[in-house]
Chains A and B, each alone.
Chain A
Amino acid sequence: MEKIIVCVKGVPEPGSVKVDPETHTLKRESSELILNPPDRCALELAAQIKERHGCRVVIISMGPPNAEKVLKEAYSYGADEMILLSDRAFAGSDTLATSYVLARAIEKLEPFELVLMGEKSIDGETAQVPAETAAILGLPSVRGVFEIKFDGKNWQVLRERGSFVEEVSFSGRAVIAVNSRLSYCRPPSLKKILEAREKEIIVWNAKDIDANEKFLGLSGSPTQVEDVFQKELKQKGEIIEGEPLSLARKLLEILKEKEILK
């Protein structure tokens, strides 16, 4: 087996995001980025496949230059190479424009056997990028995956879909969206952490991946943000301040009033 590609994303630390009042897009530069938690499971499954079948694991991530820390963390979980897709022209991309960039980079990484991604990012939470990227590449896609096996010829993955667990098998290539059900991800080895520090991050811009400008960034995104507004809230009920004990008494009173406690 040659190569597995894992797409990861740097997401803002929850609670640290600002919205650009002009473009209405999230200002990612303003906040510290962390590795998108579901991507951690994709990296673990990639490391398992690498152990059993001896392939290389290549990480790609589209993001601003400060995503480097995220890439190095991802690398420490067992990868061999990391590529940052970074260009001002990518800014403001919606899921289709993002998927286009990832697809271009993945094509440049031929030959490969499998593409893994976290099922969704915890910032945008669209869960669209894996299947959109697959569609652009002309590959099939499976989501909700929590286990991957390879018998030398066929892949067998387990996925959750609604109330079913299903076994999906295939012989060709596919984009796999991994869910967060994996109960344990191994910590990185000290060796890998040290290696990550020294390892160079390859940076590719729009030209490097031969991307058509028409499909990039804000102007290349078919969804548009018409407006962003703060939901106005007026004080609705009573506000009570006081010691924890007196507040607890008030709460108890309500519970009795509502006949939830006798």
Chain B
Amino acid sequence: MKEIALEEVGKGGIWVFGMLEEGKISHSVLEALSAGKLVADALQKELALVCFSAKDPEVSCFSNLPADKVYFVQNESLSEFCDDVVARVLIYLVKKAEPTALFFSADDEGCAVAPRVAGVLRLGLCAHVNKLEVKDGKILLYRPTFGENIVAVLSCKTRPVMATLAEGAFAIKEVETSPEILKLKMPEEFNWESSFKVKKIEKRKKEASPLLNAKVVVAGGRGMKSKEEFEKLFVLAKELGGEVGATRPVCYEGWVSEDRMIGVSGVSVRPRLYIGFGISGALQHTVGMENSEFIVAVNTDKEAPLVKMADLALIGDAGEVLENLLRLITQEKEKSK
């Protein structure tokens, strides 16, 4: 692996940050890199993955990445994730190479490091961006905002333009070529000390949310009125071999755990069939399900956004329709016995 001095790092590039953990680049960092490529192509800048690890990586883990360069920093003190050290390294590199933009995946690492960099360098940082655009040489960052179907378009007054990118929002691009991998020589006197001692005590095989690969998703919103009513969705999901999804408000109500949340701060789903019971369709939710093959909305409000985007909209009380549907399914089953 070729080693270079920091002075040789290309200036003004588009950077995407990613930790290399267990020798792998995470799915969400790949998505961020693919998003970065849009911007790099539009601005005709170099796209680089800025990657940290405790050990030298297998070069093969960078194959076919949509980047021009991988700038790699290796140091033993990166073996555990210490927010302060990781941010310190990145701040140092940003000061040296003055990238045009610096993107992060909005995963736990990106959300830990990005605001530290922004706070120290006094830079603007946009959160959970789900669309990027370059217009007249300016980077525009889109994100759904609080409330109904409102999208905010943001820009940054400071350089580099910084953003965390919503997980699941950008499709992964693979390319035929592979990036040039360059190991960066950090200065001898660099301070690798952390205020923290980190010890992994448990690795939960946090299974990827069952929603991710579900063929059928039955989701509920506040139109379901109560927790009891909401829980009947689990009965339906079982009958259909599907999974239950939810909107943000019902998760915060405590009707169901947050890992069922679909949307900006939850998961994105693409089932063959999505049925939304009592979901009006705030953008926070719909960005996570709009790619479903067939969308059914059950809602009393004919003007609700989800009703408009549905392939089939049933105008009625979601709880009552669900009750009736469950009864019909039971009857059918008895008939066929």
Taking the closest CB of chain B, its distance from the CB of A134, in whole angstroms, is 7
B-contacting residues, A135-187, CB 8 Å: 135-136, 140-144, 158, 160-170, 172, 174, 180
Contact assessment for B124 and A140 in the assembled complex, using a CB-CB cutoff below 8 Å: no
Contact assessment for B128 and A126 in the assembled complex, using a CB-CB cutoff below 8 Å: yes
Q: CB-CB < 8 A to A37: which residues of B?
A: 252
Contact of B203 among A164, A221, A233, A258 (CB under 8 A): A164
Given A226-B153, A226-B155, A244-B317: A255 and B240 interface contact (C-beta under 8 Å): yes
> Does B337 sit within 8 A of A, measured CB to CB?
no
- Complex CA–CA separation, A235 to B80 (angstroms): 51
Taking the closest CB of chain A, its distance from the CB of B323, in whole angstroms, is 7
Which residue of B195, B205, B302 has the most chain A CB atoms within 10 A of its CB atom? B195
For the side of the interface on B, what is the size category? 35 or more
Contact of B204 among A131, A163, A227 (CB under 8 A): A163
Q: CB-CB < 8 A to B317: which residues of A?
A: 244
> Does B98 sit within 8 A of A, measured CB to CB?
no
Given A96-B123, A131-B83, A162-B108: A237 and B310 interface contact (C-beta under 8 Å): yes
Nearest CB in chain A to that of B113: its residue: A131
> Does A238 sit within 8 A of B, measured CB to CB?
yes
The total number of A-B Cβ pairs within 8 Å is 277
> Does B2 sit within 8 A of A, measured CB to CB?
no
Contact of B145 among A169, A228, A255 (CB under 8 A): A228
Which residue of A125, A180, A224 has the most chain B CB atoms within 10 A of its CB atom? A125
> Does A239 sit within 8 A of B, measured CB to CB?
yes
Q: CB-CB < 8 A to B172: which residues of A?
A: none
Contact of A231 among B118, B149, B252, B312 (CB under 8 A): B149
Q: CB-CB < 8 A to A244: which residues of B?
A: 316-317, 320-321, 323-324
> Does B119 sit within 8 A of A, measured CB to CB?
yes
Q: CB-CB < 8 A to B329: which residues of A?
A: 252, 261
- Complex CA–CA separation, A107 to B204 (angstroms): 38
Given A135-B119, A164-B203: A233 and B87 interface contact (C-beta under 8 Å): no
Contact of A135 among B120, B157, B321 (CB under 8 A): B120
Q: CB-CB < 8 A to A247: which residues of B?
A: 298, 314-316, 321, 324
Q: CB-CB < 8 A to A158: which residues of B?
A: 201
Tally chain A residues at the interface, Cβ within 8 Å: 85
Nearest CB in chain A to that of B21: its residue: A162
Contact of B314 among A124, A133, A136, A240 (CB under 8 A): A240
> Does A225 sit within 8 A of B, measured CB to CB?
yes
Given A254-B312, A258-B273: A228 and B324 interface contact (C-beta under 8 Å): no
> Does B158 sit within 8 A of A, measured CB to CB?
yes
Nearest CB in chain A to that of B138: its residue: A226
Contact of A239 among B155, B272, B315 (CB under 8 A): B315
Taking the closest CB of chain A, its distance from the CB of B111, in whole angstroms, is 5
Taking the closest CB of chain B, its distance from the CB of A158, in whole angstroms, is 8
Contact assessment for B308 and A223 in the assembled complex, using a CB-CB cutoff below 8 Å: no
Contact of A163 among B156, B205, B215 (CB under 8 A): B205
> Does A95 sit within 8 A of B, measured CB to CB?
yes
- Complex CA–CA separation, A179 to B146 (angstroms): 20
Nearest CB in chain B to that of A251: its residue: B325
Contact assessment for A223 and B126 in the assembled complex, using a CB-CB cutoff below 8 Å: yes
> Does A24 sit within 8 A of B, measured CB to CB?
yes
- Complex CA–CA separation, A59 to B93 (angstroms): 37
> Does A17 sit within 8 A of B, measured CB to CB?
yes
Contact assessment for B152 and A228 in the assembled complex, using a CB-CB cutoff below 8 Å: yes
- Complex CA–CA separation, A142 to B241 (angstroms): 40
Contact of B118 among A123, A132, A169, A248 (CB under 8 A): A132
Contact assessment for A248 and B124 in the assembled complex, using a CB-CB cutoff below 8 Å: no
Nearest CB in chain A to that of B19: its residue: A162
Q: CB-CB < 8 A to B109: which residues of A?
A: 161-162
Contact assessment for A24 and B152 in the assembled complex, using a CB-CB cutoff below 8 Å: yes
> Does A198 sit within 8 A of B, measured CB to CB?
no
Q: CB-CB < 8 A to A160: which residues of B?
A: 108
- 1/0 per residue, CB under 8 A from B, across A63-97: the answer is 00000000000000000000000000000001110
Given A251-B321, A254-B296: A222 and B157 interface contact (C-beta under 8 Å): yes
Taking the closest CB of chain B, its distance from the CB of A37, in whole angstroms, is 6
> Does A61 sit within 8 A of B, measured CB to CB?
no
- Complex CA–CA separation, A231 to B144 (angstroms): 10
A-contacting residues, B105-132, CB 8 Å: 107-109, 111-120, 122-128
Interface residues of chain B, those whose CB is within 8 Å of chain A, are 21, 26, 80-81, 83-84, 87, 107-109, 111-120, 122-128, 140, 145-158, 194-206, 215-216, 239-242, 248-249, 252, 258, 264-265, 272-273, 275, 283, 294-296, 298, 302, 305, 307-317, 320-325, 327-329, 332
